[in-house]
Amino acid sequence: MNTTYDERFAAFSRERLDGHPVPDDLRVLLTAHWEGRDDFAHLLGLEFFEEGELHPFLDTGYLSEAELADPEMQAVNAGVARMTEYVKLVAKGGKGWVGYWVHPDEPVRRPIELDTEFTLWQMTGSTLTEAVAFEQSAYQDEPDERVAFGQLAAELAALGLPLGTTDYDALDDSEYVVDPEKLMETLTEAERVARGLG
């Protein structure tokens, strides 16, 4: 157990994961990041949030004053902000950002992706690293994604981060119990109704 970064892990957990334990694979990735090693970031295409960096669902800095004053936009922003309870993003990467889907009805924490259009995507894999490696396997020089995933898994293992499986077809691709996109629509609609827009 590396105690050097205990305080940083605790702070990261509070800010990004509502105080839940930092998963083992994420601990390895964060340690490498804090040590200035870019080997994992290079393989997985991840850039971790720095302390104080806003969750994309809470960042309204790109909107104009008129947009911020628009009741429809206010309803959307409020609905999206409520999703931060269930979508715990930890890094930039993939289609935009990646993290965890932590809805209380889910039996386990699942990896999730948010794209730059604010669409949520279910990810394949039981850990964040598996899920990102699965996606990265489509962008390797090796045209066969199954082979590419195995190669990535071997490289990650050589760096000290073995995946739960090196078999592309054995990765968890089960549906989430709660559909993130449907929940976001439901929460946004509730905010519209609360504002008399329904």
Q: Which token pair is 101? A: 């889907």
**Predicted confidence (pLDDT) at residue 1 exceeds the cutoff of 70:** no
Predicted local distance difference test score (pLDDT) of residue 198? 67
The pLDDT tens digits for 123-136 are 999 999 999 999 99
Which amino acid is located at 133 in the chain? A
Predicted local distance difference test score (pLDDT) of residue 94? 87
The pLDDT tens digits for 32-66 are 999 999 999 999 999 999 889 999 999 998 989 99
Of the pLDDT bands very low, low, confident and very high (cuts 50, 70, 90), residue 3 is low
> What size, in residues, is the chain?
198
DSSP letter for each residue of 85-136: GTEEEEEEETTEEEEEE--TTSSS-EEEEEETTS-EEE-SSSSHHHHHHHHH
What does the mean pLDDT of the chain come to? 94
Predicted local distance difference test score (pLDDT) of residue 2? 52
Predicted local distance difference test score (pLDDT) of residue 4? 75
Of the pLDDT bands very low, low, confident and very high (cuts 50, 70, 90), residue 148 is very high
Predicted local distance difference test score (pLDDT) of residue 29? 97
Predicted local distance difference test score (pLDDT) of residue 140? 87
Share of the chain above pLDDT 90, in %: 90
CB-based burial label for 33 (10 Å; 0-12, 13-18, 19+):
middle
Predicted local distance difference test score (pLDDT) of residue 16? 97
The pLDDT tens digits for 172-190 are 999 999 999 999 999 999 9
